């Protein structure tokens, strides 16, 4: 049968809004619903028909899949991270990779602040205390104050800058990054120095080879037994084994994490630790932001289909 629409592989579930837009533009193959055998059989018959792959930032697209699609022209990522895709390999095959830059900035920064308050004030445990009927038996232990803390931001890009602007209302902010920026915050060229000068360290830098396990034992120890670690970037930036060891040994006061090394699988040691607050990679998970992200994905795909491929979201 003659196809009237280009074919695209959808690698993970999306919002109803995005899926509706994709179905209106492409013959969609819901790749994540096929087992390995079905995927191999489909590729054997239809691989050359695929012009686009639509995926999430947490998943990316493997080199093996890109190599199996000779007509692939675009990998459209519903997110801002490109750490799950080999950009040089994609470019070598003439595959454009697009993201949704800027869309999750506000929500991610808001969540970072929410995680800090939740962690230091013990909000999740306090909620459970009331829900489980324990309040009549006594009060919760005293929590820790947020206002007046020293905040360190690792990576002062769009999200880091938004986090810093919000935290400046609570206390002094400092940051580290590749270079000093014209901002009213103290700059530390070395990450351990920032950690030593911080009560709360917030990770907002990109995930790449240079930042893999950037937050390891040395940085955690510099933050110290009264310090708190917040990660709203990518799980690979924090050495989870080192984090768990520090928490269990009392070398870190607590952690709040939205991202993990092996999502959606979170180590039991983190799930059971009462000094840890956990969220399921939900930084951009609001109706407003996910709708805007979906619109940008569709705009990127439209630009590719009509042959302009001029989206500023290309990387």
288 noted as active-site residue: no
Based on the residue annotation, tell me whether 190 is a catalytic residue of this protein.
no
Residues 95/115, Cβ–Cβ less than 8 Å: no
Active-site residue (options: 33, 134, 190, 263): 263
Is the predicted pLDDT of residue 310 greater than 50, yes or no? no
Could you give the percent of the chain with pLDDT greater than 90? Answer: 94
Q: What are phi and psi of 168, to 5 degrees?
A: -60, -20
Report whether 69 contacts 50 (CB < 8 A).
yes
**How wide is the angle at C-alpha 308 spanned by C-alphas 307 and 312, nearest 5°?**
140
Arithmetic mean of pLDDT, 27-44: 98
Phi–psi pair at 149, nearest 5 degrees:
-70, 155
Q: Which position has the higher pLDDT, 294 or 307?
A: 294
Sheet-wide strand order for 7-10: 27-30, 7-10, 50-56, 74-78, 96-98
pLDDT of 4: 75
58 is catalytic: no
**Which of the residues 51, 150, 188, 234 is marked catalytic?**
234
What pLDDT is attached to residue 82?
Answer: 92
58, 96, 188, 281: the active-site residue: 281
**Helices then strands, each counted (H, E), the chain:** 12, 12
C-alpha separations of 64 from 30, 86, 89 in Å:
18, 11, 10
Burial of 266 (0-12, 13-18, 19+ CB in 10 A): middle
Q: How far apart are CA 64 and CA 33, in angstroms?
A: 18
- Global pTM value: 0.91
pLDDT in tens, 203-233: 999 999 999 999 999 999 999 999 999 999 9
Residues 285-297: what's their mean pLDDT? 96
273 pLDDT band, cuts 50/70/90, is very high
Task: Please answer whether residues 22 and 10 qualify as being in contact, where contact means their C-beta atoms are separated by less than 8 angstroms.
Answer: yes
Q: So what's the pLDDT on residue 33?
A: 98
Is a pLDDT exceeding 50 seen at residue 90? yes
Average pLDDT, the chain: 95
CATH architecture, domain defined by 105-278: 3-Layer(aba) Sandwich (3.40)
> With 80 as the cut, is the pLDDT of residue 10 above it?
yes
Angle formed by the axes of helices 105-121 and 123-131, nearest 10°? 60
Please compute the mean of the pLDDT values over residues 85-98 and round it to a whole number.
Answer: 97
* 315 touches 97 (CB < 8 A): yes
Of 57, 308, 285, 71, the residue nearest 299 (C-alpha): 308
pLDDT at 3: 52
- Measured CA distances, 220 to 31, 201, 224, 229, 253 (Å): 40, 9, 6, 8, 10
Which tens digits make up the pLDDT trace of 53-63? 999 998 999 99
306: confidence class by pLDDT, cuts 50, 70, 90: confident
Grade residue 104 by pLDDT with cuts at 50, 70 and 90. Answer: very high
For residue 246, count CB atoms less than 10 angstroms from its CB and return exposed for 0-12, middle for 13-18, buried for 19 or more: buried
First to last CA, the chain: 35
**Confidence (pLDDT) at 45:** 97
CATH superfamily of 7-101+288-305: NAD(P)-binding Rossmann-like Domain (3.40.50.720)
Q: Which of 259, 258, 254 is nearest to 243 (CA)?
A: 254
Q: Mind listing the pLDDT tens digit for each residue in 143-191?
A: 999 999 999 999 999 999 999 999 999 999 999 999 999 999 999 999 9
Q: State how far the alpha carbon of 193 is from the alpha carbons of 72, 168, 221, 254, in Å.
A: 46, 19, 11, 19
Say yes or no to pLDDT of 312 above 70: no
Residue extents of the structural domains in the chain? 7-101+288-305, 105-278
Per-residue pLDDT band for 2 (boundaries 50, 70, 90) equals very low
The reply to whether 105-278 shares the fold of 7-101+288-305 is yes
């Amino acid at each position: 049968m003659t196809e009237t629409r280009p074919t695209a592989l959808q690698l993970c579930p999306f919002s109803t809004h995005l899926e509706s837009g994709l179905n209106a533009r492409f013959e969609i193959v819901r790749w994540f619903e096929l087992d390995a055998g079905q995927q191999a059989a489909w590729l054997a018959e239809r691989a050359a028909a695929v012009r686009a792959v639509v995926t999430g930032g947490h998943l990316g697209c493997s080199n093996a899949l890109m190599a199996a699609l000779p007509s692939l022209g675009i990998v459209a990522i519903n997110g801002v991270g490109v750490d799950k895709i080999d950009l040089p390999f994609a470019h070598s095959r003439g595959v454009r990779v697009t993201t949704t830059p800027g869309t999750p900035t506000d929500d991610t920064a808001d969540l970072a602040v929410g995680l800090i308050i939740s962690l230091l004030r013990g909000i999740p445990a306090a909620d459970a205390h009331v829900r489980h009927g324990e309040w009549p038996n006594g009060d919760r232990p005293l929590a820790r104050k947020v206002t007046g803390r020293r905040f360190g931001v690792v990576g002062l890009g769009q999200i880091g800058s938004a986090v810093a602007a919000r935290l400046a209302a609570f206390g002094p902010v400092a940051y580290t990054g590749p270079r000093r920026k014209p901002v009213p915050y103290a700059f530390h060229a070395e990450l351990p120095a920032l950690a030593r000068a911080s009560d709360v360290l917030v990770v907002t830098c990109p995930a790449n080879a240079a930042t893999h396990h950037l937050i390891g034992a040395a940085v955690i120890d510099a933050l110290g037994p009264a310090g708190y670690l917040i990660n709203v970037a990518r799980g690979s930036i924090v050495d989870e084994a080192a984090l768990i060891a520090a928490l269990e040994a009392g070398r870190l006061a607590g952690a709040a994490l939205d991202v993990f090394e092996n999502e959606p699988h979170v180590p039991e040691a983190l799930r059971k630790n009462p000094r840890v607050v956990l969220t399921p990679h939900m930084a951009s998970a609001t109706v407003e932001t996910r709708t805007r992200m979906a619109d940008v994905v569709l705009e990127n795909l439209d630009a590719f289909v009509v042959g302009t491929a001029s989206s500023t979201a290309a990387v």
